[in-house]
Structure 1
Amino acid sequence: MRRAGRGPQGEQAWWREAVFYQVYVRSFADSDGDGVGDLEGIRGRLGYLELLGVDAIWLTPFYTSPMADHGYDIADPRSVDPLFGNLADFDALVADAHARGIKVTIDLVPNHTSNTHTWFKSAMAAGPGSPERDRYIFRDGKEDGPPNNWVSSFGGPAWTRVPDGQWYLHLFAAQQPDLNWANPEVRADLERTLRFWLDRGVDGFRIDVAHGMAKPAELPDMDPRAQPMVATGFYDPRFDNDGVHEIHQMIRKVLDEYPGTMAAGELWVSDEERLAKYLRPDELHLAFNFKLVLTHFDADALHAAIERSLAVPQAAGAPATWTLSNHDVWRQVSRYGGGEQGVRRARAMALVELALPGAVYLYNGEELGLGNVDVPVEAMADPRAKTAGPQHSRDGARVPIPWEGDVVPFGFSRNARTWLPMPADWAGLTIEKQLEDPDSTLSLYRQAVELRHEHAAFSGDEIEWYGAPAGCFAFRRSPGGLICALNTSAAPIPLPPGNVLLSSSPLVDGKLPPDSSAWLVKS
């Protein structure tokens, strides 16, 4: 029996220690043989997710889109793109997931639309000063160019000029014009979208660029050294404007009408006081913290990242939210050095993450120990690769996952020409093979998730740190008593006293080897 979430909403707060599984829809399972994953493919693989033991899935965008940014450029947020299926397929997926005890959360993209959205088409036709243009951020330029010096997160200027001389803002691709959140029509339309999906039974939302949306009215220049996804500390008016909190309060009011639903925000906010504001009782339920993603494999650095990541949600009375990877960053096996070393370190960090109090987000394929794929430049599909250069492509972490068999596409599709090419050397990493191997990375994840759900030691919102050798750490969940030890040093170390529940690598003469972690409970 899985333990219910704790907190002011009791049984309804299922998300407080939930294990979420991010399904990158294009890359999970293809049911119709076009080489692209779809909703029916996910529904056909729900048994695997139940076996893995996850509490909830997060679906990346499946809405009508020209796919300039693989669905994050949305033309109709209350629809399903034919590439992925239809509304009946979505409803069937939700029903079947719920029947298996799996919650369904979906992406919400409130910062921008596609340039093929009917609103943007109307804005282009209506001209300067029109109500249609006021739904977006159109401005007259300066004599020497665009209205200000803002740059796009995908490289190049954040402004595109239209034939009548005005410019429109896009913090991402030019095909993703930013909405004007000072316009009441924009707010009303998002509320309509929220209710549309909530009425269909979704359990929550992951909010894309949750620190975006609101822009200062005067649109001041940014410090050119600022970067949106890195904590640089330089002045950046593009993100984390105070007005964003009114938007999250509006979203929360809607969610509160649907008991048991939640919202998690993608927040690249480095200032901890400002980050805490997003977790106030009338805003987000969860806030992604990316400190573990940005921290290298070193016990001292990871210790500090965990401490800081716990401090903000604890001060706000909210659970922490942990992740090691997603569709926008390198897979952890590759971040930690690649090859056998990268796999060992990724396995070690999986146990660290799953030992921590709060919610955990896994990314499809990490439970298989997949690393980044070296996608040929001619096969790259990420728009960021085209604007910022192939070295910035995110495609390497988005390659379809291998299910079964010995040859490409490993059961992902009937079509060997998958939307991104799959490497032949994944034959030994398929779900089928790993399920049969008790020592596989998948088996490690399955055991870890089951223990996290079932063992009484995984309780309590506090952690206590042990003294540990250089290059190592150990903490204890309180009051549950789980002990987690990590060794990032070059030599085996003695473990704290206790019975070993699980280790990421076999012990060596009773000691924890390098690049490894273990869970213990006191006897």
Structure 2
Amino acid sequence: MTPQDATWWKSAVVYQIYPRSFADSNGDGFGDLGGIIERLGYLQALGVDVIWLSPIYPSPQADNGYDVSDYRDIDPLFGTLAEFDVLLAEIHERGMKLVMDLVVNHTSDEHPWFIESRSSRHNPKRDWYIWRDSRAAAEPNNWGSFFSGPAWTWDQVTGQYYLHLFDRKQPDLNWENPAVRKAMQDIMVWWLDRGVDGFRMDVVNFISKARGLPDAPTIPGHQFVIAVDEFVDGPHVHEYLAETTREVFGSRDGQFITVGEMPGVTPDQARLYTDPARGELNMVFQFEHVSVDQSPANKFEYLGLDLVVLKESLYRWQGALADIGWNSLYWENHDQPRVVSRFGDDDPDYWAASAKALATILHGMRGTPFVYQGEELGMTNYPFSSARDHQDLEAVNYYTSVVELSGDEIAALAGLGAMSRDNARTPMQWGPGHNAGFTSGEPWMPVNPNHTWLNAESQFTAPDSVFAHYQELIRLRHELPILVHGDLTPLMAADPQIWAYSRRAPESAILVIANCGREPRAVDVGAEWIGAGLLLGNLPDTPGALTSTSLQLAGWDARIYAAG
């Protein structure tokens, strides 16, 4: 990566920090900026290039910071602007970059903009949010909130409803108002001038709603519908993003990264969003591959994994963005359960091998890999036993609605255990001792009991650890241009247990292959790979070179070979 490389992010690896669960430096039970500063050496040793922080702005914390009340300060829960400046300087000194999480679709209802907007129908900021009259003494349309119930809340003072696609304390901004767009652009400029290196923009494809806010197609038994087609990829979203990129980054040198979180985005749409000629975004986060084990109507209805369907999804995205645009690669983030428990095998006998295998599969693909805190250790889902264990707003609201509708509470708890966002938010497991070394106080969420053996302290210097495997994967991405730019060809795509593909460049080729199950498998890889040398394996005593077309793979055996 050279200083003038405007596409440096293609060979970079990003590490996401969920600050309240990463490291607590003052003993109040919540992670903070001081804790992050103390652990930068760990991240530098891992080898990542970019640190992405989930929101740390002042917030009532209705949705753990994704309800922002001030975009130009730091919530006292996490520290101060002065501490942020120290963190930023130390990150840069270590050769890494910092990306801020920017919530652009909505604010907190305690943000000064909304306080003004709801004060009067005639307030100058009334049109900064989306207000509508009632319809036949009911909500303006049938849109449902992602957090259960209607996407509209009645305001008694001004006699209208306001739109909130998420919690009622997260009113949607009206991006059709040029003043709103300018205010958001000014916020981005303010942070860039402070030294940050880019933004991950939350649900950014929701910022342009369908004209007239029409009803969504009805679903039997559902009064309110999550109207994806009515607010995803709206009529002006490309215009707004291009304008924002032009106004915010137009005079800068290109050493920045922009990532758009886009639920419901299709591969064809992503090609437009990430086409460099259009000047919108560097990459998007799509959700197709992390929805394959969920019911389309209910994310908490766990269907189980079909590996072929998962492969098809990721391969579809690899193909769609092969010539135009760019992929993000991720298994986990603050909204997803732990991948070892989800797509791998969290039995202690297979936990490490499956964590390494899944990492190998993902990091071998074309795109920018994202590592979520603890993923590099193979952290697993928390053993939830009751509804009281859950704290996430989405989970709590869902369970409450199931109870109110006399639904299946046992199935709901099972679905929450498998899919709840709480799984990703348990404290980082630094060591085997008290509270896993996360805090000296009472942690805001319980620590996973398996921290006594699954922790950073036990893995940091162990040559065969999950952490060490991630280090090697990151090193390979930095050293081998083929992993960044090479073409990808799926192999054995219909096999329900083997995941394999090749990466090719004009003068080199790589084979990535993994057995995604406990049972050993013999695989015919073809004569072209005879003599290929082993770049990386995840099990001890893996043979150093392929001497036969028949490859014997143990359970959760993953390998990367380079053709001679």
Q: Give the Cα separation in 2 of the matches to 1:456 and 1:286.
A: 19
What is the letter of the counterpart of residue 512 of structure 1?
A: L
What is the letter of the counterpart of residue 399 of structure 1?
A: T
Is the alpha carbon distance of 1:291 and 1:158 closer, same or farther for their aligned partners in structure 2, counting shifts above 3 Å?
A: closer
Q: Which position in structure 1 is the counterpart of 2:117?
A: 123
Q: Which position in structure 1 is the counterpart of 2:444?
A: 419
The CA deviation string for residues 329-374 of structure 1, in whole angstroms up to 9 with x for no partner, is 1110111253244553332110011111221111101111111113
Q: Which position in structure 2 is the counterpart of 1:474?
A: 500
Q: Which position in structure 2 is the counterpart of 1:437?
A: 462
What is the letter of the counterpart of residue 388 of structure 1?
A: Y
Q: Which position in structure 2 is the counterpart of 1:229?
A: none
1:151 aligns with 2:128: no
Retained in 1: the 8 A contact 2:315–2:490? no
Task: Specify which of 322, 339, 343 is matched with residue 332 of structure 1.
Answer: 339
Is the alpha carbon distance of 1:263 and 1:468 closer, same or farther for their aligned partners in structure 2, counting shifts above 3 Å?
A: closer
1:196 aligns with 2:190: yes
Q: Which position in structure 1 is the counterpart of 2:361?
A: 352
Retained in 2: the 8 A contact 1:245–1:283? yes
1:241 aligns with 2:251: no
Q: Which position in structure 2 is the counterpart of 1:283?
A: 280
- Cα offset for 1:481? 2.1
TM-score normalised to structure 1 length? 0.91
List alignment gaps of at least 5 residues for structure 1: 227-231
1:493 aligns with 2:487: no
Q: Give the Cα separation in 2 of the matches to 1:449 and 1:310.
A: 20
Q: Which position in structure 1 is the counterpart of 2:79?
A: 85
The CA deviation string for residues 90-132 of structure 1, in whole angstroms up to 9 with x for no partner, is 1111111011111100101110000101111112222x35432
Q: Give the Cα separation in 2 of the matches to 1:224 and 1:46.
A: 50
- Cα offset for 1:67? 0.5
Q: Give the Cα separation in 1 of the matches to 2:481 and 2:199.
A: 29
Task: Specify which of 60, 67, 81 is matched with residue 73 of structure 1.
Answer: 67
The CA deviation string for residues 237-271 of structure 1, in whole angstroms up to 9 with x for no partner, is 02221211122112211123222112111112343
What is the letter of the counterpart of residue 492 of structure 1?
A: R
Q: Which position in structure 1 is the counterpart of 2:472?
A: 447
What is the letter of the counterpart of residue 514 of structure 1?
A: G
Q: Which position in structure 2 is the counterpart of 1:387?
A: 397
Q: Any idea what SS the aligned residue of 1:484 has? A: strand
What is the letter of the counterpart of residue 314 of structure 2?
A: I
Is the alpha carbon distance of 1:224 and 1:503 closer, same or farther for their aligned partners in structure 2, counting shifts above 3 Å?
A: farther
Choose 154-163 or 330-339, whichever is displaced more. Answer: 330-339
Task: Specify which of 256, 264, 270 is matched with residue 261 of structure 1.
Answer: 256
- Cα offset for 1:275? 2.7
Q: Give the Cα separation in 2 of the matches to 1:423 and 1:235.
A: 35
Q: Any idea what SS the aligned residue of 2:43 has? A: helix
1:403 aligns with 2:400: no
Q: Any idea what SS the aligned residue of 2:24 has? A: coil
Percent of aligned pairs sharing the same letter:
37
Retained in 2: the 8 A contact 1:198–1:258? no
Q: Which position in structure 1 is the counterpart of 2:153?
A: 160
Q: Any idea what SS the aligned residue of 1:211 has? A: helix
Is the alpha carbon distance of 1:270 and 1:205 closer, same or farther for their aligned partners in structure 2, counting shifts above 3 Å?
A: closer
- Cα offset for 1:70? 0.6
Choose 270-279 or 41-50, whichever is displaced more. Answer: 270-279
Q: Give the Cα separation in 2 of the matches to 1:457 and 1:180.
A: 43
Q: Any idea what SS the aligned residue of 2:234 has? A: coil
The CA deviation string for residues 280-337 of structure 1, in whole angstroms up to 9 with x for no partner, is 3311111123344334665533442232112332342x22211111111111011125
- Cα offset for 1:472? 2.2
- Cα offset for 1:17? 2.3
Q: CA RMSD in A?
A: 2.4
Q: Give the Cα separation in 1 of the matches to 2:292 and 2:361.
A: 13
Q: Which position in structure 1 is the counterpart of 2:326?
A: 319
Retained in 1: the 8 A contact 2:14–2:48? yes
Q: Any idea what SS the aligned residue of 1:12 has? A: coil
What is the letter of the counterpart of residue 208 of structure 1?
A: D
1:220 aligns with 2:220: no
- Cα offset for 1:224? 3.7
Q: Any idea what SS the aligned residue of 1:482 has? A: strand
Q: Which position in structure 1 is the counterpart of 2:200?
A: 206
Retained in 2: the 8 A contact 1:408–1:422? no
What is the letter of the counterpart of residue 285 of structure 1?
A: N
Retained in 2: the 8 A contact 1:399–1:422? yes
The CA deviation string for residues 138-158 of structure 1, in whole angstroms up to 9 with x for no partner, is 111112311000000011110
Q: Which position in structure 2 is the counterpart of 1:361?
A: 370
- Cα offset for 1:31? 1.1
Retained in 2: the 8 A contact 1:43–1:93? yes
In the alignment of these two chains, the number of paired residues is 508
Choose 165-174 or 502-511, whichever is displaced more. Answer: 502-511
